[in-house]
Amino acid sequence: MENTARASALKLKNELEDLLRRRMAGQFRRYGLDLEKLLTPFKWKSLVLIIGNYSSGKSTLINEFLGRNVQSTGQSPTDDGFTILSSPDTPEGGEREVPGPTVINDPQLPFAPLRRFGSRLIAHLRLKEIETPLLPELALIDTPGMLDSVTEKDRGYDYLGVVGELARLADLIILMFDPYKAGTIKETYQAIRSTLPATSGPGRTLFVLNRIDECDNLKDLLRAYGTLCWNLSQMTGRKDMPRIFLTFAPEGEHARGALQDRQLWASEREELKKAIASAPRLRLDHVLQDVDRAVRELRLQVAALARYQEGFLARLKRVLRVGFTAAGLAFLFGDAALKLLAGTPGPVFAGGLLAGNLQAPHWVCPVGCAMAAVVLSYLDVQYLLHPRYLRHILGHLDELAAADTDYERDLWQVVRGRVRSAITGRDRTHLWMRHRRNLRRIDAFLGEDLRRIYQRLRTAES
Ligand SMILES: Nc1nc2c(ncn2[C@@H]2O[C@H](COP(=O)(O)OP(=O)(O)O)[C@@H](O)[C@H]2O)c(=O)[nH]1
Ligand SMILES: [Mg+2]
C-alpha cells in the first residue's frame, strides 16, 4: 500500500516537472527567472532542517531519532558545520562521509545553490551516509548553533543565507530553543523575522522548547514557556501562537526531578519524532505549493509589465498621431512655409503637384521636412516621453499590481523589486513583448494543468 502511494506520488512529481518544462520554461526565461532553481527540490529526498541555538539539543535529538550516536554532542559549541545525514543512494550501500566540494558538485543532489556562499561554507559542509532503515526517503540536516553576537566575518560565510537556502529545500524545519535562552538569540530573531518567511512555505516550521527537564519546577517551566511565547509573537509579528513542543532527551530525564508526570512529557518527544519521520508525506504538497507560488509571482510580474506597457503605448500613440500629422503637413507644405518665411529658393511641392508636373527637385525639401518631423518625434519619445512616464510610474509602482487577495498582496512584495528593475533597466524589450498572450498561457497553466495535478493529488491521498 505504502509502495503504491509512493509510486503514484513519484509519477505525479515527474509529470509536474515535465509540464513545467514544457509549458513554463519559455515564460520563466523571458522574464529573467530561473526555472531550474524552482526544480531543485524535485531532485532528491525529503529534507528536515534542524536549527536553533547552540546546545539546545539538536544533535542529541538527531542521534536519538537515528538510534545511534552519529553526531557529537556537548555543552560548548561542539560542531560548527552543516551535516546532511542520509542513507546511501547506491544499492551497494556502505557508510561514508562525503566532503563539501563533492556534495556541492554532485548533480544528483540539490545543494549546488550553496556554492555561492564560498569555500568557507563548503569547508563546513558534509554528507554522512549511514545505513539505517529510518532514512530511505528522508535526510536530516544538523546545523551549527545560532549565536548572539556573531557577524558574517566571524563565521566566514553568510550563515543565515545558508539557513535560508536549506529552508527553501526543506519540508520541515525544527527550530529548537532551551529554557535558558528562550528566544533571545539574535540570529534566531533574524531567522524567524525574515529568513524563514522569505524562503520556506507557511506552516513548515515546528517550534520546540527542549531541555525542559532542567527546569527546577513547573513554575520555572511556565516562566520559560511564557518568555518564549512572548518572544515568538514579537518575532513573527502575529497574534496566533504556533504550537510549541515541550521536550527533553530521555537521557537527560534524571538530571533534575521537576516534572512529575514523565509519561505526559515523553509523549511530546514521541510526537516530534513522528513528525520528522512523516516529512516525506508532505513532499509533493510542498513542491506543488512552491510551484504554485512561483507561477503566481510570475503572473503578477507579467500583469504589472503589461499594465506598464499599455500605459506607455497609449501615450506613444498620442505622440505618434501628432508626429505623423506633423510629418504629413511638413511633406506637403514644408517647402512652401520655408519659402514664405525664409525665402528659400527652388520649386514648391504643392505647386508641382497641382500642375501635375513633379520633377526630382520637387521631392528634396518635402522628404527632408518629413524626415525631420519623424526624427523629432523619435527624440521626443526617447528623451521626454519614456523618462517622464517612467518617473511617474516609479512614484506609483503599486498601481501596477493586480493584487486582489491578501496572498497576492504578499506576493507583490516579492515581485515589486523585480518589476522595478525590469522597467528601470537598460533593456527595453519589455515595452514590446506580448505580455497579454503570455498572461493567457500562464493562466491556462494555473487553471488547467496545475489544477488537474492538485485534483489527482487529492484523490491519491484519500
Ligand atoms: N538535561 C538535558 N540535557 C540535554 C538535552 N538535550 C541535550 N542535552 C545535553 O546538552 C548538551 C548539548 O546538546 P547538543 O545535542 O550537542 O546540542 P546542539 O549544540 O544543539 O547540537 C549535551 O551535553 C547534551 O547531552 C535535554 O533534553 N535535557
Ligand atoms: Mg550539535
pLDDT one-digit tens code per residue, 68-107: 899 988 876 655 799 999 988 777 777 889 999 999 999 8
Q: Are both 183 and 273 inside the same structural domain?
A: yes
Is 413 inside any structural domain? Answer: yes
Q: Are both 222 and 357 inside the same structural domain?
A: no
Residue whose CA is at the smallest distance from ligand 1 atom 3:
252
Locate the ligand 1 atom nearest the alpha carbon of residue 56 and give its number: 20
Locate the ligand 1 atom nearest the alpha carbon of residue 72 and give its number: 16
Q: How far is the CA of 228 from the centre of ligand 2 (A)?
A: 21
Q: Are both 233 and 321 inside the same structural domain?
A: no
Domain CATH for 137: 3.40.50.300
In this predicted structure, what is the pLDDT of residue 257? 54
- Given a contact cutoff of 8 angstroms between Cβ atoms, the answer to whether 225 and 244 are in contact is yes
In this predicted structure, what is the pLDDT of residue 77? 60
pLDDT < 50 positions in the chain: none
Q: Are both 235 and 351 inside the same structural domain?
A: no
The whole-angstrom separation of Cα 223 and Cα 215 is 10
Q: Are both 271 and 303 inside the same structural domain?
A: no
Is 21 inside any structural domain? Answer: no
The C-alpha angle 183, 188, 191, rounded to 5 degrees, equals 135
In this predicted structure, what is the pLDDT of residue 258? 56
Residue whose CA is at the smallest distance from ligand 1 atom 8:
57
Is 94 inside any structural domain? Answer: yes
Q: How far is the CA of 163 from the centre of ligand 2 (A)?
A: 15
Q: Which of 247, 277, 307 is the last residue of a domain?
A: 277
Q: Which of 277, 306, 337 is the last residue of a domain?
A: 277
Is 7 inside any structural domain? Answer: no
Residue whose CA is at the smallest distance from ligand 1 atom 14:
57
In this predicted structure, what is the pLDDT of residue 2? 60
The whole-angstrom separation of Cα 176 and Cα 60 is 12
CB of residue 100 inside a 6 A radius of ligand 1: no
CA-wise closest residue to 137 among 291, 13, 290, 289: 13
Q: How far is the CA of 236 from the centre of ligand 2 (A)?
A: 25
The whole-angstrom separation of Cα 288 and Cα 283 is 9
Is 23 inside any structural domain? Answer: no
In this predicted structure, what is the pLDDT of residue 413? 86
Q: Are both 261 and 351 inside the same structural domain?
A: no
Q: Which residue among 54, 58, 60 has the greatest number of ligand 1 atoms within 8 angstroms of its CB, and so is best to mutate?
A: 60
Q: How many domains does the chain have?
A: 2
3-state secondary structure of 11: helix
Is 18 inside any structural domain? Answer: no
Please count the CA atoms within 13 angstroms of the CA of 294 that sit on its side-chain side.
Answer: 24
Q: Which residues surround ligand 2, an ion (CB under 5 A)?
A: 58-59, 79
Q: Are both 259 and 325 inside the same structural domain?
A: no
Q: Are both 330 and 260 inside the same structural domain?
A: no
CB of residue 63 inside a 6 A radius of ligand 1: no
Locate the ligand 1 atom nearest the alpha carbon of residue 248 and give its number: 27
Q: Are both 102 and 199 inside the same structural domain?
A: yes
Q: Which residue among 49, 51, 55 has the greatest number of ligand 1 atoms within 8 angstroms of its CB, and so is best to mutate?
A: 55
Q: Which of 277, 305, 336 is the last residue of a domain?
A: 277
- For residue 205, the cross-strand partners are 173
CB of residue 214 inside a 6 A radius of ligand 1: yes
Q: Are both 303 and 252 inside the same structural domain?
A: no
In this predicted structure, what is the pLDDT of residue 80? 78
What range does the domain containing 146 cover? 46-277
Q: Are both 161 and 73 inside the same structural domain?
A: yes
Locate the ligand 1 atom nearest the alpha carbon of residue 63 and give its number: 15
- Given a contact cutoff of 8 angstroms between Cβ atoms, the answer to whether 390 and 305 are in contact is no
Locate the ligand 1 atom nearest the alpha carbon of residue 142 and give its number: 21
Is 106 inside any structural domain? Answer: yes
Residue whose CA is at the smallest distance from ligand 1 atom 24:
74
Is 123 inside any structural domain? Answer: yes
CB of residue 65 inside a 6 A radius of ligand 1: no
Q: Are both 84 and 190 inside the same structural domain?
A: yes
In this predicted structure, what is the pLDDT of residue 13? 83
CB of residue 73 inside a 6 A radius of ligand 1: yes
